[in-house]
Amino acid sequence: MIRPEVEVEVETATPRVERVPRSHLSLELGHLYMEDFAGGPEVLKRHFAAVKPWHDFLMAQHKGLRVSTCFLVDEYFSQLSGPADLIPDLLSAAAEAGLSIDYVARESACAVIDQVSPAKLLLDSIVPVPAQGSDGSVPPPQYSGWLTNSEHGIGHRGISEAMAPAAAWTPPRENGARAHSISMDVELWDKKDGALQWSCAHLSAVWQLLRLGLLRHEGKAVVEPEDWTGGALPSEWADLPAVIRLPRPGAPRQRHRPSFAAYRTLTILETRFSSVEQAVRLILEQTSIDPLVAAQADEQARAEGVELPPETVRRISHVFTDRS
């Protein structure tokens, strides 16, 4: 009698983490508020004219490597026009400057994609660095909506006894400061009309993690770019995929273009966004990446001879410039 061989594997014994393809670099060619688009095509032309020299310099530095370009449209806080009106002007202005955009994303997708909230995934991954001497009186950001890098930040009042004289003022002290402190408190979310509203800094931190391919929901990648072949665009942002992959002039097939996710990101922004991006860095400094996802990214990088810094925040870079 021949007994059949049966292998039994407990599904939860081997967690499955979806692997995402990665470019060497994700280069963001700008991030404008919706109000900026109200200035018309001339605003976009000035923007891309200012970006072009930096783009050319960076592409020369990464010659022979896979570099994808992207642009984030901020339609989370206001929607003055829809994708059918805005995106053609955006692409036309970029092309006039000699730039090609591979991926366009909408910022509201950093809040919700289908039934998944990338912003909530990030919030749940934040592990605040406790300040030296902290007494536990400061609630975590999941409850307070605030994150700090300092002792005596976020409404610290210290411990005082009843009828005790008012405590003397003490300055904030940055955690791990070298000599002098730079104290920062960042608001991650608040509530508007009873509904959760994410801050620009928090959504921008999500945007960085999406570009690094480091966010997962139940092991699956949170975002999958969808092809846009040049047909009609929807009039409503909610009807546009979270990230669309645009045809590159002269490219034989869209799938041959550099992947949306990358080992590193570099963002070209105007200096008015610098405080938001500093807040993004503070958030990422206190974010714990799923160990399986982090190990997978490291494995991919080693296989390609790419050296990755262990800290997520060191994988993102910025160039700040101003319009001419």
Token couple for 260: 């949306």
pLDDT at 6: 54
Strands 23-33 and 67-74: parallel
| The predicted structure's pLDDT at residue 19 | 94
Question: Helix crossing, 118-125 with 200-212: angle to 10°?
Answer: 90
CB-based contact 318:54 (threshold 8 Å): no
pLDDT at 153: 62
- List the single range of 36-45, 114-123, 202-211, 305-314 with lowest mean pLDDT: 36-45
- Please determine, for residue 160, whether its predicted confidence score (pLDDT) is greater than 60: no
Helix (H) or strand (E) holding 262: strand 262-270
What is the C-alpha separation between 300 and 98, in angstroms, rounded? 32
SS3 (DSSP) at 297: helix
Q: What is the predicted pLDDT for the residue at 155?
A: 61
Using CA atoms in the order 266, 94, 322, 208, what is the torsion angle rounded to 10 degrees?
A: -30
Residue 173's pLDDT is what?
87
β-sheet bridge partners, residue 262: 23
pLDDT of 159 reads 53
**Angle at 133 (CA atoms; ends 309, 124), nearest 5 degrees:** 50
Cβ 127 vs Cβ 288: under 8 Å = yes
Cα 266 to Cα 134: distance, rounded to the nearest angstrom: 35
Looking at per-residue pLDDT, the higher value among 177 and 249 belongs to: 177
Q: How many whole angstroms separate alpha carbon 313 and alpha carbon 204?
A: 13
- Please answer whether residues 100 and 249 qualify as being in contact, where contact means their C-beta atoms are separated by less than 8 angstroms: yes
**Percent of the chain scoring above 70 in pLDDT:** 86
Per residue in 65-106, pLDDT (tens digit) is 999 999 999 999 888 889 999 999 999 999 999 999 999 999
The pTM of this model reads 0.90
User: Which residues, other chains included, contact 258 with Cβ-Cβ below 8 Å and sequence gap of 6+?
Assistant: 23, 24, 66, 67, 68, 102
Structural domain boundaries in the chain: 23-122+195-321
Q: Which of 103, 26, 37 lies closest to 71, judged by CA?
A: 103
- Evaluated on CA atoms 300, 305, 309, 312, the torsion sign reads negative
Half-sphere exposure of 197 (CA within 13 A, CB side): 10
> Which residues 6+ apart lie within 8 Å of 4 measured at CB?
none
Confidence of residue 250 (pLDDT cuts 50, 70, 90): low
